[in-house]
Chain A
Amino acid sequence: MKQNANWIFLFVFALISHVGLAQNQEVTGTVVDNTGLPLPGVNVIEKGTTNGTQTNFDGEFTLQVDNDAILVFSYLGMKEQQVTVGNKTSLDITLQPDTGQLDEVVVTALGIKREKKSLGYATQEVGGNEVSDVATQNFTNALSGKVAGLKVKSSGTMGGSTNVVIRGNASLTGSNQALFVVDGTPIINQNSNTNAQRTGGGGYDYGNAAADINPDDIESINVLRGAAASALYGERAANGVIIIETKRGQKNKGIGVTVRSSVMFSNADDETLPNYQQKYGAGYGPYYQSEDGYFNLSDVNGDGVLDETTPFTEDASFGAAFDPDRMIYQWNSIYPELDTYQQASPWDAAEYTPNDIWETGYTMINSVALDGGTDKSTYRVGFTNLDQEGALPNSSITRNNIKFSASHDLTDKFSVNSNFNFIKTDGKGRYGTGYDALNVMQSFRQWNQSNVDLYKQRDAYFATGSNITWNPNGPNNLTPIYTDNPYFTRYENYQTDTRNRYFGNINLNYQISDVFSVLGRFTFDTYSELQEERKNVGSVGVSGYSRFDNRVAEYNYDLILNFNKDLTDDLNLDGNVGFNLRRNEQSSIRASTNGGLNAPDFFALSNSKDPLNPPSEYEADQMLDGIFARASLGYLNTYYMEATMRRDRSSTLPSSDNTYYYPSISTSVLLSNIIDKDWLSFAKFRANYAQVGSGTDPYRVFNTYLVSAPFDGQGVASLNGTLNNLELKSETSKSFEVGLESSFIDNRLSVDFSYYNTRTEDQITPVPVSNATGYTRKLLNAGEIENKGFEVLLNGKPLQMDDFNWNVSVNWSRNRNEVISLTDGVDNLQLASLQGGVSINAAPGQPYGAIRGTDYVYDDNGSKIVNSDGYYETTDSNNNVIGNIQPDWNAGITNSFRYKNFRFSFLIDIQEGGDIFSLDTWYGMATGVYDVTAGINDLGNEMRAPLTGGADSGGIILPGVNADGSQNETRVPFDTYANPYGYARDANKGHVYDASYIKLRELSLTYDFSDKILEKLPFTNASISFIGRNLWIIDKNLPYSDPEAGLSSGNVQGYQSGAYPAMKQYGLNLRFNF
């Protein structure tokens, strides 16, 4: 690496000295802003050449130029200025501020660049630095809290998926994920997680494919929230679009080299881990063979006398109170390969609890980019390497990105530009998820013996390499019953995955005349991935190996004719007509061993114990042909009106009815051009209405059979559980939006306010039907959802002084979601049925994502009723609405400060409301894992002590009323798993928690090296930052866990099962420009 760096330096110096020879006149000067303050870092370029420099900290520059040179001065936030040098040797330049949004150009749908002031819809930009400064594996996480109306939720595992939803869930069962577009290329953002994984049944979270985008390449992000903004993208636009423009070379600029290096460490946040009780050991209660009922009896030491042993099979901590004087034959006494074989040990709480499994993880990102350009061409080459070690043992992700982009003017009128990305991602030891033995958190949070010392388990695994579990079938049958040694799980039952991805595009632009130009574009995004999962011989259940090979591709062909003409001095018309042909392809195969593995440590299909069953295959190609037109009229640079129309034809619909049209119309008025007030810098009113039509997934029209493994050589086939529909129509989302943008007092304060209302109708939905029809679901155009809400963006500059700036940015959004209707006869659509007897649902009159389960029974005053035994009455049915996943509102507050060369900023991310069901406490309270199950009762006694009826009694009195309305005074025991807190007696409702949080999401402190230092270094720019992420959960209501943790991206949210802790991340970021 060092040699490479030397090579780069040599190259750069050679180039600089070469350029230097051509100059023959020296110009010096100072650049100031309109208040007379010097501007450091202004780009000064000799027009038409690569010759240039930057101003120093005092706004001064010196440059060798030709006699007839024109200098171009540019600086972010200031208007560009060109000055002819002539015979002057000294220049004093004053740059005028770019008055707010007036001339800002933003990239909108299909890559069309528009002046922001003319847009009739809300957009919000995020700078590339804001996502690249924080070294995260998945850049989408770095958007959390930064954009109004954009909800970003990471599922919490290393490399896991992130749910990115704009303005709420608009689709009942389809994808609600925003569309990512990189330099005009729509990016596939599937997650290939199995349905079982998404509904808590176990499996790995392989992440969402948009995570492949390299944050270091991002120049800017523009979020198109409403359908009017994105209607030209067609059906996928209904969920909003995140447009990413990547960094490019600039014309007439020498070779620039940017090097960035960052390292972030991560540690589990204790606030999101269980607090274990340390008073009682293994067991469900006094149900076993010893005299006190807490231990089993077996002659472990071979002396012919029965010994007291841990009840090994019992994955709970409602056993005997710890007593270090009591010697018990525990798990380490029954494995002959251990030194402790046949030795009893004191009955005591574990010194090292499962929380000690968490190590310090790290993420290192190193990148180098070269860019430059001539008068006809630009180019940029970037390479980034990401190396991540997870905080669980034996977990890592490596990713290498290569990006090349270039543009070239073939003639004055004809230009071509292209970019090409290659990404290789390799994962190993991703965390198991959900209710599954491969998820170590399942036992840590739900089924744990508090006497088991984690480090002793670790040492036993490393000493023997075998599955020395605390949870065998018994002293004479050492096969594991429910839970493996957690280190065995991590080291022997790991997965690996690899993904090779190529995406990019080629654009051809031809300027036909002043009025017309045409753009031809081909974009592609294609990847192949392999996921391999292993379960070694000796594990709980059936050992095995499975592989999933998946190829996914999307191709888009666009041809767009643009026109732009001033019809009169005051009236401008611009627009486009074009077509978009989209082709999607997917082909996958999943093969698994059958009946287990023959030999240990050998993971191949050929090692299958029984003959292989047929692998499952999926193959689907999809075609969507769209034509569209857009026209925009501008009058007096003040009044704007825009309309679009698109026609799509989708192969996913019946061929007799697969074409659909949808329009949009939007308008904006620059009020500040009408109202002339000093305090008003800028004001714009905007309004729009849009429809977006969409097709569906392939294979929903014709009925098919599921062919499965033959029985004794006979073919086996069964009708699919969902009845398809030959008469499907397209679905439509209709939205309406108004907004007001304004800024005051020289742009010191700006406000952007939006209100929107979106209804998605005729949704193509697999509607559940009475199973007596022989089907579980029937595809129908049924269902309507409404999302409406407010978004507010506030930017303020409370302090602007010479050496000190303070900026505040606040975004706040509230989305109200309601399922308006399903179809006749169906009053609830179950999205997922989950372990614990709860389900996630959509029901008319309620927000999407109602959590249903068993509830308490309440009296008229809303008090919980207890039965005659003193336990809560619970409902028989699990149909009761006990929560909802939708939050009330979200907000993000960023404060940034600059003092001389120091910059400091922090982001506070807030969610209010939303519910979450915890399977972890549902089981963990019954198994006595958590500290609250071994507390002190109202009498000052141990809750778990027996009921005596006297002052020394254990047990608790549940707050509630008796059937007659009187206060409950009946004490119930708390000495077994059948206690009132856990699954045995509680209602599901008791484990629904408020998912609100306030988090210190990001914190960064940056030092920009001053020019004086830089003069002595070979850099043009350098900075060093300390970065922190998720350092502090300021407030939350969910105990022992992170309210953001979940299973996967997708529609099933509001459920935790074996949840992973939040990761505090902190580290350093270095950036140099040559």
Chain B
Amino acid sequence: MKKYLIIFTVAFLFASCSDDEKYERLNQDPKNPTQVSEDFLFTSATVSLGDFLASPNVNINIFRFVSQYLTATTYVDEPNYDLTNRNIPQSQWSEIYRDVLLDLDDAKGYINDNADLSQSEKDARIGQIEIIQVYAWQVLVDTFGDIPYNEALQAETNTLPAYEDDAVIYEDLIERLQAASTLLNSGQGFIGPDVIFGGDMSKWNKFNNSLQLRLAMRISDSNPSLSKSAAEDAASKGVFTGNQDNAIIAYQSSPPNTNPLWEDLVQSGRSDYVAANTIVDIMNDLEDPRRTYYFDQNLGDGVYEGGIYGSQNPFSGSTHIGEAFRDPTHAGIYLDFAEVSFHLATASDLNYNVFGDTETHYNNAITASMNYAGIDDQDAIDTYLSKPNVSYDPANSNALIGTQFWIAMFDNPLEGWSTWRKYDEPSLNLPGSTENPVPVRYTYPVNEQNLNEANYNEASQAIGGDTQQTPIFWDVN
């Protein structure tokens, strides 16, 4: 009897003690690492940002609609600016904070702890990260206005981040780019993981300055003095000088690394998108040579007929997007020389002390856009540049630059939307189904109302109401 109890007791005690290490080891996931290299994070964040900018997916990015470059055939909620049905603001917000900004913040920690890197290599890498981060912050501000900034990305300690004033954030972003310029010059940054320039630091420098120029020109109405100094600083340090400098992402031929356009236009097998009559009509009027690149000639040679923006459109009876955009390797654009030249044209027009005159920059911009579209025939370009509604005229500077800038941003639709908001040119159509006015801002994500309510309320009040018609701080004229 006793021996059984002893055996039982021993077995019992045996059962109640396994070592801590074994318990802990079981809770460490062998298939998902707890540590990665900063290289992985940098590539991931850069591609995530590029994918977001290029995507035409109605759940992710509807700027191709909002800018009225494209419209839909049957399902017209998004061209009519219905942002809530598919929670579009939420998807952009979480994509940028989670898959771009946080991963990049995290990468900075790995860089600083990496004993294999010299200080100058660390600085240069952090400089590259800063540029992508500033780009991402600017996307958020340009879309929403006030956003969580200094208090964001601190989930361990603060899950209720306060929103900050958009104008103040912009000032800080410009300062960050100025600081990044020094970092980039200190050494060699990411090479392989850099999917934009493959480690060419001189191009990163130009990208940095070109982005600073974009930010500076955005605030030309709201903060002219900072706009002038920052633009002049950027121009003097060196911006893009040709399409070879463009910050673009070269997509791959096989999923998941294709241009997101291909996924929705080709791979899906659907026929949801057609060119919008807004841009087709304007380009038809100008007999714009870029039509052969932007659009398909599915209605016949030289025949372009856009779908009525925001109405139901027959796919077969409307002009489709161009063949080049249906190639999986079609490049995605962060920032290009055409945009830089339009900014310089405006800077020059405002008498900022930048090199060159307005007309030269304006013509450079259109030429760059033409060249990018594969139109290299200088005669054709010159003919276009001399058309009455194209030819530069200082008296009509805003309308000319605004319209041409908007046309050139066809494949960078977020910038296209910002251009329209900034220049208020050209005049866009009211969508057919609802005739809702074009948004000048996204409403905040619905889940911010639930998860960060007090700060959300404060921010909504600060910007003048959480609606699609509350302008961003720089959109004052």
A-B contact pairs, 19 of them (CB 8 A): A289-B317, A473-B315, A474-B316, A613-B255, A620-B29, A621-B26, A627-B12, A650-B23, A655-B20, A705-B34, A707-B36, A712-B257, A715-B193, A718-B98, A770-B452, A771-B98, A771-B447, A774-B102, A774-B152
Q: Within 8 Å of chain B (Cβ to Cβ): is A595?
A: yes
Q: How far is the CB of B189 from chain A (nearest CB, A)?
A: 14
1/0 per residue, CB under 8 A from A, across B259-292: the answer is 0000000011111000000000000000000000
Q: Within 8 Å of chain B (Cβ to Cβ): is A833?
A: yes
Q: Roughly how many angstroms separate A313 CA and B316 CA in the complex, as a whole number?
A: 10
Nearest-neighbor residue (CB-CB) of A618 within chain B: B31
The listed residue with most A CB atoms (<10 A of its CB), out of B1, B99, B160, B267, is B160
Nearest-neighbor residue (CB-CB) of B25 within chain A: A651
Excluding A702-B29, A709-B256, 19 further A-B contacts by CB distance (< 8 Å) are A289-B317, A474-B315, A516-B4, A541-B268, A561-B8, A578-B12, A579-B15, A651-B22, A655-B20, A698-B29, A705-B32, A705-B33, A706-B32, A707-B36, A716-B44, A716-B47, A718-B41, A772-B97, A827-B450
Q: Does B40 contact A542, Cβ atoms closer than 8 Å?
A: no
Q: Does A718 contact B99, Cβ atoms closer than 8 Å?
A: yes
Q: Which residues of A contact B1 (CB under 8 A)?
A: 512-513, 516
Binds B, one of A185-193, A396-404, A476-484, A939-947: A476-484
Q: Which residues of B contact A775 (CB under 8 A)?
A: 98, 102, 155
Q: Does A287 contact B102, Cβ atoms closer than 8 Å?
A: no
Which residues 314-363 in B have Cβ within 8 Å of A in the complex? 314-317
Q: Does B271 contact A698, Cβ atoms closer than 8 Å?
A: no
Q: Does A581 contact B15, Cβ atoms closer than 8 Å?
A: yes
Q: How far is the CB of A265 from chain B (nearest CB, A)?
A: 39
Q: How far is the CB of B71 from chain A (nearest CB, A)?
A: 14
Q: Does B87 contact A833, Cβ atoms closer than 8 Å?
A: yes
Q: Within 8 Å of chain A (Cβ to Cβ): is B241?
A: no
Q: Roughly how many angstroms separate A715 CA and B44 CA in the complex, as a whole number?
A: 8
Nearest-neighbor residue (CB-CB) of B443 within chain A: A876
The listed residue with most A CB atoms (<10 A of its CB), out of B22, B105, B257, is B257
Q: Roughly how many angstroms separate A744 CA and B366 CA in the complex, as a whole number?
A: 96
Q: Which residues of B contact A978 (CB under 8 A)?
A: 433
Q: Does B269 contact A313, Cβ atoms closer than 8 Å?
A: no
Q: Does B192 contact A714, Cβ atoms closer than 8 Å?
A: yes
Q: Within 8 Å of chain A (Cβ to Cβ): is B300?
A: no
Q: Within 8 Å of chain A (Cβ to Cβ): is B245?
A: no
Q: Roughly how many angstroms separate A658 CA and B20 CA in the complex, as a whole number?
A: 9
Q: How far is the CB of A723 from chain B (nearest CB, A)?
A: 5
Q: Does B27 contact A698, Cβ atoms closer than 8 Å?
A: yes
Q: Within 8 Å of chain A (Cβ to Cβ): is B74?
A: yes
Which residues 368-426 in B have Cβ within 8 Å of A in the complex? none
Q: Which residues of B contact A715 (CB under 8 A)?
A: 36-37, 39-40, 43, 193
Q: How far is the CB of B117 from chain A (nearest CB, A)?
A: 17
Q: Does A313 contact B271, Cβ atoms closer than 8 Å?
A: yes
Q: Within 8 Å of chain A (Cβ to Cβ): is B207?
A: no
Q: Does B159 contact A714, Cβ atoms closer than 8 Å?
A: no
Q: Within 8 Å of chain B (Cβ to Cβ): is A859?
A: no
The total of Cβ contacts below 8 Å across the A-B interface reads 267
Which residues 58-76 in B have Cβ within 8 Å of A in the complex? 73-74
Q: Within 8 Å of chain A (Cβ to Cβ): is B451?
A: yes
Q: Does B446 contact A877, Cβ atoms closer than 8 Å?
A: yes
Question: Which 9 pairs, one residue from A and one from B, show the smallest C-beta to C-beta distance?
Answer: A774-B102, A610-B254, A717-B40, A773-B155, A772-B148, A704-B32, A771-B94, A770-B452, A579-B15
Q: Which residues of B contact A561 (CB under 8 A)?
A: 5, 8
1/0 per residue, CB under 8 A from A, across B124-146: the answer is 00000000000000000000000
Q: Does B445 contact A717, Cβ atoms closer than 8 Å?
A: no
Q: Within 8 Å of chain B (Cβ to Cβ): is A623?
A: yes
Q: How far is the CB of B25 from chain A (nearest CB, A)?
A: 8
Which residues 417-446 in B have Cβ within 8 Å of A in the complex? 433, 445-446
Q: Does A709 contact B257, Cβ atoms closer than 8 Å?
A: yes
Q: Roughly how many angstroms separate A579 CA and B74 CA in the complex, as a whole number?
A: 64
Q: Within 8 Å of chain B (Cβ to Cβ): is A7?
A: no
Q: Within 8 Å of chain A (Cβ to Cβ): is B167?
A: no
Give the interface size bracket for B toward A.
35 or more
Q: Within 8 Å of chain B (Cβ to Cβ): is A314?
A: yes
1/0 per residue, CB under 8 A from A, across B445-468: the answer is 111111111010000000000000
Q: Which residues of B contact A879 (CB under 8 A)?
A: 446, 449-450
Q: Which residues of A contact B86 (CB under 8 A)?
A: 837
Q: Roughly how many angstroms separate A28 CA and B382 CA in the complex, as a whole number?
A: 121
Q: Within 8 Å of chain A (Cβ to Cβ): is B118?
A: no
Contact of A287 among B15, B106, B159, B314 (CB under 8 A): B314
Q: Does A768 contact B451, Cβ atoms closer than 8 Å?
A: yes
Q: How far is the CB of B96 from chain A (nearest CB, A)?
A: 9
Nearest-neighbor residue (CB-CB) of A875 within chain B: B84
Contact of A559 among B8, B73, B452 (CB under 8 A): B8
Q: Within 8 Å of chain A (Cβ to Cβ): is B114?
A: no
Q: Roughly how many angstroms separate A481 CA and B314 CA in the complex, as a whole number?
A: 13
Q: Within 8 Å of chain B (Cβ to Cβ): is A510?
A: yes
1/0 per residue, CB under 8 A from B, across A574-608: the answer is 00011101000000000000110000000000000
Q: Within 8 Å of chain B (Cβ to Cβ): is A622?
A: yes
Contact of A518 among B4, B44, B97, B448 (CB under 8 A): B4
Q: Does B255 contact A594, Cβ atoms closer than 8 Å?
A: yes
Q: Does A595 contact B255, Cβ atoms closer than 8 Å?
A: yes
Which residues 245-266 in A have Cβ within 8 Å of B in the complex? none
Q: Does B12 contact A776, Cβ atoms closer than 8 Å?
A: no
Contact of B271 among A473, A557, A620, A721 (CB under 8 A): A473
Q: Which residues of A contact B84 (CB under 8 A)?
A: 837, 876-878
The listed residue with most B CB atoms (<10 A of its CB), out of A658, A714, A830, is A714
Q: Within 8 Å of chain A (Cβ to Cβ): is B11?
A: yes
Q: Which residues of A contact B103 (CB under 8 A)?
A: 718-719
Q: Does A579 contact B452, Cβ atoms closer than 8 Å?
A: no
Q: Within 8 Å of chain B (Cβ to Cβ): is A528?
A: no
Q: Roughly how many angstroms separate A541 CA and B97 CA in the complex, as a whole number?
A: 31
Which residues 714-748 in A have Cβ within 8 Å of B in the complex? 714-721, 723
Q: A768-B447, A772-B152 are in contact. Are A714 and B39 (CB under 8 A)?
A: yes
1/0 per residue, CB under 8 A from B, across A683-708: the answer is 00000000000000011111111111
Q: Roughly how many angstroms separate A770 CA and B101 CA in the complex, as a whole number?
A: 14
The listed residue with most A CB atoms (<10 A of its CB), out of B5, B26, B158, B317, is B26
Which residues 893-908 in A have Cβ within 8 Å of B in the complex? none
Q: Within 8 Å of chain A (Cβ to Cβ): is B93?
A: yes
Q: Within 8 Å of chain B (Cβ to Cβ): is A42?
A: no
Q: Which residues of A contact B155 (CB under 8 A)?
A: 723, 769, 773-775, 778
Q: Which residues of A contact B159 (CB under 8 A)?
A: 769-770, 773, 778, 825
Q: Roughly how many angstroms separate A775 CA and B252 CA in the complex, as a whole number?
A: 29
Nearest-neighbor residue (CB-CB) of B14 within chain A: A579
1/0 per residue, CB under 8 A from A, across B78-110: the answer is 000000111100100110011101110110000
Q: Within 8 Å of chain A (Cβ to Cβ): is B48?
A: yes
Q: Within 8 Å of chain A (Cβ to Cβ): is B477?
A: no
Q: Does B40 contact A289, Cβ atoms closer than 8 Å?
A: no
Q: Which residues of A contact B271 (CB under 8 A)?
A: 313, 473, 481
Q: Within 8 Å of chain B (Cβ to Cβ): is A619?
A: yes
Q: Which residues of B contact A701 (CB under 8 A)?
A: 27
Q: Which residues of A contact B317 (CB under 8 A)?
A: 289
Q: Which residues of A contact B8 (CB under 8 A)?
A: 518, 559, 561
Q: How far is the CB of B269 from chain A (nearest CB, A)?
A: 5
Q: A285-B312, A516-B4 are in contact. Are A559 and B11 (CB under 8 A)?
A: yes
Q: Within 8 Å of chain A (Cβ to Cβ): is B153?
A: yes
Q: How far is the CB of A694 from chain B (nearest CB, A)?
A: 15
Q: Does A774 contact B153, Cβ atoms closer than 8 Å?
A: yes
Q: Within 8 Å of chain A (Cβ to Cβ): is B225?
A: no
Contact of B28 among A578, A702, A706, A837 (CB under 8 A): A702
Nearest-neighbor residue (CB-CB) of B47 within chain A: A711
Contact of A651 among B27, B29, B148, B255 (CB under 8 A): B27
Q: Roughly how many angstroms separate A623 CA and B156 CA in the complex, as a whole number?
A: 28
Q: Within 8 Å of chain B (Cβ to Cβ): is A673?
A: no
Q: Within 8 Å of chain B (Cβ to Cβ): is A358?
A: no
Q: Within 8 Å of chain A (Cβ to Cβ): is B169?
A: no
